Amino acid sequence: MTTFMLAWQSIGNRRTTALLSVFAIALSITLFLGVERMRIGAKSSFTNTISGTDLIVGARAGSVQLLLYSVFRIGNATSNISMDSLDAIEARDDVAWVVPISLGDSHRGYRVMGTSNDYFEHYRYRNKQPLEFSVGQRFEDLFDVVIGAEIAQQLGYQIGASVIISHGIGAIGGNKHDDMPFKVSGILRRTGTPVDRTVHVSLAALEAIHLDWENGSPSSSFRLSADQVRDLDLQPSTVTAALVGTRTRFGIFQVQRFVNEFKNEPLTAVLPGVALQELWSIVGVAETALTAVSAMVVLTAILGLVTMILSTLNERRQEIAILRSIGAHTGTIFSLLMLEAVILAAGGILLGTGLLYALLFAINPWIEQSFGLYLAIEAPSLYELKLMGLILVIACVVGTVPALRAYRQSLVDGMSVQR
């Protein structure tokens, strides 16, 4: 009988404790690989927050700061940029499109962004996926508003709901533009990006609600009604930033240089991908901590396996003595205990991997719909295979502890055995 078959039958004789050990390892492997998939998914969702946009243009600032306020709606711009400057950029032959955005107001803690209908046409996320409406449509009326999926869910808004925009940022905000209420015309599908937490209005609408305001508060000398502003010129003179698409890859760097050296006003053009990687290097430290915690869980499960084998050694001294009496070498006893640890660890890895894929198939649609986090269901990557191989090696290494103890006991118990 081979050592492997002997180890397999030995495990079968203690199937209850063996199954509990395998199940413990399986759960830890599921957690470990699940965290790895979540880490990859989170990083992918983060770096694909904006896709298909070649440049982000704003006032002179650092790349991360520009990215934060223009894409993540965090913080404020140092200053606005003029529409004349954007017209000069859009007039270039190598520029395909320009989408201006304007920030500064809020609604119940959510940022309000003024833009054009071109935003819904050109904005892309996660491998150039377009924005889609779960219900409703783009701006048609001056006071139409398109909201993200999270806002609709948290505030219970539906098509036709009234939205009052507040001047300023924050949950409280400043003075309210309650004399010019908006109406929800569309609700976007969940994207897992800041779009889900953004109230979108037209640039003209932002101009309209601020026409009778002075220094951040309503004018005391005159007030305009919603009907009166419809007949006025509502083209903005300045905006906060702009998303730019170029016709060719080579044109990206030409346009970037043109913007960064613009004479009329100080501007900055950044590559979204580069800025996202820079930002992730700052905020991505949490993924290391999460991976470390899950690795400790795996290590704990393996130590539990070794403890289980060690705890049964005294009960198995007679079994080992019988094996020695029928001619088993001390090396065979050592190999037997090592193989048991490896078989149990391998079983836990296989079961844990199977549980992971079962969970992915079961909850992936819900995770994507609820949190906008896309977890790819694909074969284990080379990195994951290396991790599983490393876990098996660790199990083999720590398995030497009970194996060595059994080896020494077999020497003592087998001293009277004659060959």
pLDDT band of residue 419 (cuts 50, 70, 90) is very low
Kindly report, residue by residue over 201-260, the tens digit of the pLDDT.
Answer: 999 999 988 887 665 566 656 677 778 888 888 889 999 999 999 999 889 999 999 999
Alpha-carbon distance of 141 to 186, in angstroms, equals: 12
Kindly report, residue by residue over 50-80, the tens digit of the pLDDT.
Answer: 988 999 999 998 999 999 999 998 888 889 9
- pLDDT, position 266: 94
Domain ranges of the chain: 3-46+284-413, 55-270
pLDDT band of residue 33 (cuts 50, 70, 90) is confident
Q: What's at 320, amino acid-wise?
A: I
Alpha-carbon distance of 386 to 391, in angstroms, equals: 9
Which DSSP letter does residue 176 get? B
- What is the rounded average pLDDT of the residues 6-35? 81
- pLDDT, position 164: 92
Kindly report, residue by residue over 356-387, the tens digit of the pLDDT.
Answer: 999 988 887 777 766 666 777 888 888 888 88
Q: To the nearest whole number, what is the mean pLDDT of the chain?
A: 83
Is the predicted pLDDT of residue 413 greater than 60, yes or no?
Answer: no
Alpha helices in 169-242 (DSSP H): 203-210, 226-229
- pLDDT, position 327: 61
Alpha-carbon distance of 407 to 401, in angstroms, equals: 10
- What is the rounded average pLDDT of the residues 402-417? 60
Share of the chain above pLDDT 90, in %: 38
- N- to C-terminal Cα separation, the chain: 19
pTM of structure: 0.72
Kindly report, residue by residue over 380-406, the tens digit of the pLDDT.
Answer: 888 888 888 888 888 888 777 777 776
Token pair of 229 as six digits: 């502003």
- pLDDT, position 417: 44
Whether 365 and 345 have beta carbons less than 8 Å apart is answered as: no
- What is the rounded average pLDDT of the residues 148-172? 87
* Least confident span in 25-39, 83-97, 259-273: 25-39
**Higher per-residue pLDDT: 269 or 170:** 269
Concatenate the DSSP letters of all residues of 147-205 into one string.
E-HHHHHHHT--TT-EE--EESSSSS-SSB-TTS-EEEEEEEPP-SSGGGGEEEEEHHH
- pLDDT, position 82: 95
- What is the rounded average pLDDT of the residues 143-154? 94
- pLDDT, position 418: 41
Is the predicted pLDDT of residue 148 greater than 90, yes or no?
Answer: yes
Q: Residue 267's beta-bridge partner residues?
A: 59
Q: Residue 218's beta-bridge partner residues?
A: 213
Is the predicted pLDDT of residue 411 greater than 60, yes or no?
Answer: no
Whether 120 and 145 have beta carbons less than 8 Å apart is answered as: no
- What is the rounded average pLDDT of the residues 133-154? 94
pLDDT band of residue 415 (cuts 50, 70, 90) is very low
